[in-house]
Chains A and B, each alone.
Chain A
Amino acid sequence: DGGITQSPKYLFRKEGQNVTLSCEQNLNHDAMYWYRQDPGQGLRLIYYSQIVNDFQKGDIAEGYSVSREKKESFPLTVTSAQKNPTAFYLCASSSVSGYTDTQYFGPGTRLTVL
């Protein structure tokens, strides 16, 4: 079945460590996105990529990095520079052609800094 997978589902990190969250899609979508959600809040865009080997900063990119070496994959690294990384992270993808560019989401990764 086509869809978006994120791993791991839960991630615990010690302060000062970098961690990488995985996002893979087999929907043949060109665009991929990373969002952060804090408790009781809406989603905020961290990074997005509309094509392989290209990505742009979103609204809260500081302390995060991404790569887009393959169309199917858009991993997010949470670096030690991110001051408050405990949050729920959602990856999404969308087509860039057609009538709509609806974003479809993965199941999310819940990151906790110990």
Chain B
Amino acid sequence: AQKITQTQPGMFVQEKEAVTLDCTYDTSDQSYGLFWYKQPSSGEMIFLIYQGSYDEQNATEGRYSLNFQKARKSANLVISASQLGDSAMYFCAMREGRTNAGGTSYGKLTFGQGTILTVHP
């Protein structure tokens, strides 16, 4: 079974409007982290936002917010006031829990297949 599912291969949005990119995940861990990355045509992966499984508030970073619904295992990315420069591939990723001796979690990421976002003027 896929651990991270992004069901929208492509999305279109008008400039200045908001858009939601879907992400669902599957894990039996209690401690995990969810990440969103942006990949423009240059190829570099740009970190956008992080949500920890124990965080009670939805994460926000500027125009990006993460709609975290733990019971539904979804972590959708919301981009407000879309800009032409937002056109890119967007990836959702999960880090499952792994705690070292110091009590900090870290571990490898599993990525979804991505959603291509196109912003129209």
Residues of A within 8 A of B (CB): 31, 33, 40-45, 48, 50, 58, 88, 90, 92, 94-108, 110
Q: A45, B108: Cβ atoms under 8 Å?
A: yes
Given the interface pairs A33-B108, A43-B111, the reply to whether A101 lies near B95 with Cβ below 8 Å is yes
B81 in the interface (beta carbon within 8 A)? no
Q: B104, A110: Cβ atoms under 8 Å?
A: no
| Apart from A97-B102, A105-B47, A107-B42: 13 A-B pairs, beta carbons within 8 A | A41-B113, A41-B114, A42-B113, A43-B45, A96-B104, A98-B104, A101-B105, A101-B106, A101-B107, A102-B35, A105-B37, A107-B43, A108-B44
Residues of B within 8 A of A (CB): 4, 33, 35, 37, 42-47, 50, 52, 91, 93, 95, 100, 102, 104-114
Q: How far is the CA of A103 from the CA of B33 in the complex (A)?
A: 12
Q: How many A-B residue pairs have CB under 8 A?
A: 65
Between A and B, 7 residue pairs with Cβ closer than 8 Å are A31-B106, A42-B91, A48-B108, A94-B106, A96-B106, A107-B44, A110-B43
Q: How far is the CA of A102 from the CA of B46 in the complex (A)?
A: 11
Q: How far is the CA of A4 from the CA of B112 in the complex (A)?
A: 23
Contact of A42 among B47, B50, B112 (CB under 8 A): B112
Given the interface pairs A42-B114, A98-B104, the reply to whether A108 lies near B43 with Cβ below 8 Å is yes
Q: B45, A102: Cβ atoms under 8 Å?
A: no
Chain A residue nearest to B114 in the complex (CB)? A42
Chain B residue nearest to A100 in the complex (CB)? B50
Given the interface pairs A90-B45, A108-B44, the reply to whether A103 lies near B104 with Cβ below 8 Å is no
Chain A residue nearest to B47 in the complex (CB)? A102
Contact residues in A for B95 (Cβ distance below 8 Å): 101
Q: B33, A101: Cβ atoms under 8 Å?
A: yes
Given the interface pairs A33-B108, A45-B109, A101-B105, the reply to whether A96 lies near B100 with Cβ below 8 Å is yes
Smallest beta-carbon distance B98→chain A, Å: 9
Q: How far is the CA of A50 from the CA of B33 in the complex (A)?
A: 18
Contact residues in A for B100 (Cβ distance below 8 Å): 96
